[in-house]
Structure 1
Amino acid sequence: MKLSFSHQHRHVSLFFKGLLLTLALPCAAAWAQADGKAPAGRPSSGGFIGVGVGSGPTYPGSDQQRTAAVPIGEYRWANGVYVGGRDGLLGVQMSATQQLQLGLAIGMDTGRKESDSSYLAGMGDIAAKGTLNAYAKLALSEQWGLSSSVQLGAGSAGKGGLLNLGASYSIPVAPSTHLSLNAGATLANADYMQDYFGVNSTQASASGYKSYTPSAGLRDVSVGLGLHHQFDRNWMLIGGLTSTSLSNAAKDSPLVRKSTSQNAFVAVAYSF
């Protein structure tokens, strides 16, 4: 069955977040971070495949950019099970009401490698780990949406946790072209902040940085602009640009070289 425009838009945005995080390119999907809209009508099965290019900081707080071409794809079954997506690599989504969606998924924390940047020398690696994700999305209207999600199991010992909050506004600029405005905030627990922005005594000795213990709380805030253009029933062009600013607890880390980063992506996809 064919996907409706609204389904295609949401499925693209959901997939990009999970995919490019998996590839350690957190830049590419911030456009879709606040997609809170619930689909109207009876759900149907469908998916898409394509290829895109994303660019963003090498690691959170880096002043170096990484650009990569990546294949994209997602499939969702009518029963709510899906493969690929912002909310996890494999999960199930349920509609509590026509406006409210709830879901559980297996996600991934991609970790961080010391070899990613010379500024990480002596910090050691943070191994990639599977995570447990839970989320809720609320459609306030055809244009406005709210979202929240929790990720558990991140970081060196798997004790890191994140809470993401977002809002989105969709703007139809032509029958086949939509823009989306997005804003979001991410909060992190102490374990996550220590793993990704802290410097313990062992790391301080190996890296030359001073020891640093960031507090739990706000990690970053972001704003973004997304584009979706439908060429025909199957082919579409999607893109996005996002600016993310680290909070004081994060940007005061000696690892942070740049506290505000810009992320961008563009892709062409075929839906079926």
Structure 2
Amino acid sequence: MQATTSLSPTLAMAGLLLLPLSALAADPAPGNVLTVGGGAAVVSSYSGSDKLSTMPLVAIDYAMANGFFASTMRGIGYGGQAGPLSYSLALGYRGERTDHKRNGINGYGGSDYLKGMGDVKGNASALLGMAYSPIPGVQLSVSSDIPLNNRDNGARLQFGAGGQIYSKNDSQGVPQDTVSLGVQTGWGEKKYMQTMYGVSASQASNTAFKQYTPKGGFYEAQATVSWEHRFDAKWGLTAMAGVTSLIGDARKSPIVQRKTAPVGAIYATYRY
């Protein structure tokens, strides 16, 4: 199952929810698989920012044959598959958002434009996911991110669809180059919308923003194209580019500077 949850601790970024993680999937052969990798991503400094931040991607993913996994990308949990249906349950982490610019290359999650808004604290999350493949190469998915602490951060859902549009095999019939397209939309409950896009009365008094109370609903749509190249059974390279657009009440938020922004990433992986 392709992971569609937000990336944990330093990797948490809403704009990369469709980051293709097929390079992290275990081989069909039974056994435990350790995948390590790294690269870089370019995302908005916060959802709605008009500035982009470059940040490192660090992947460490240990998938056991019995379905349990521990990963910087997927959290800690269990996943399984029954025919075309796959599922997972994991414990992860949603990163914080600060009201000041972060220093260094990991600038995601903060901006001086938000000064006076206060910080949005991170939280542990229950990550639930389910995907269905009606035909080979096509996947429909839904996943949830439910806070276990700092409950005012609110829960969110992600609905996605993706499929391969090109595949080239090597001389042994193993996929060597794969190009995929994906679309996704995000829905947030009222608490999530207020935390991420709302402006409370106290925040309005501390800033130049007008008070704003969004309703729960769809807040984001995203489209991506990804390319994965397998050098061999162990080494792989993945690149992704896309665009994210705020919709609904999120689009009308006074803290939003840019409604549509690019997103991209490139990373290499090695399987043990």
**TM-score of the aligned structures, taking structure 2 as reference length:** 0.86
Q: Identity, % of aligned pairs?
A: 26
Measure, in 2, the Cα distance between the counterparts of 1:197 and 1:43: 45
CA contact (8 A) 1:156 1:195 kept: no
CA contact (8 A) 1:25 1:54 kept: no
Give the gaps of 5 or more residues in structure 1.
1-9
- Describe the superposition over 1:191-225 as per-residue Cα deviations: whole angstroms up to 9, x where unpaired: 00000000000000001210000111001111100
How do residues 1-272 of structure 1 correspond to structure 2 at under 5 angstroms?
Answer: 14=3, 17-19=6-8, 22-32=10-20, 43-84=30-71, 88-95=74-81, 97-115=82-100, 116-153=110-147, 156-158=150-152, 160-175=154-169, 176-272=176-272
Q: CA deviation at 1:165?
A: 0.6
Measure, in 2, the Cα distance between the counterparts of 1:187 and 1:29: 13
Measure, in 2, the Cα distance between the counterparts of 1:190 and 1:155: 17
Q: CA deviation at 1:69?
A: 2.5
Give the gaps of 5 or more residues in structure 2.
101-109, 170-175
Q: What is the total number of aligned residue pairs between the two structures? A: 255
CA contact (8 A) 1:25 1:66 kept: no
SS at match of 2:54: strand
If asked which structure has higher relative contact order (CA below 8 Å, sep 6+), I would say 1
| Moved >4 Å (runs of 4+) | 38-43
SS at match of 1:119: helix
Q: CA deviation at 1:242?
A: 1.7
SS at match of 1:32: coil
**Cα 1:15–1:189, aligned 2, differ >3 Å: closer, same or farther?**
closer
Give the residue type in structure 1 aligned to 2:76.
Answer: L
CA RMSD of aligned residues (A): 2.4
Going by fraction, where is helix more abundant, 1 or 2?
1
1:4 paired residue number: none
Measure, in 1, the Cα distance between the counterparts of 2:7 and 2:207: 31
CA contact (8 A) 2:32 2:63 kept: yes
Q: CA deviation at 1:23?
A: 2.6
**Cα 1:83–1:240, aligned 2, differ >3 Å: closer, same or farther?**
same
Give the residue type in structure 1 aligned to 2:119.
Answer: D
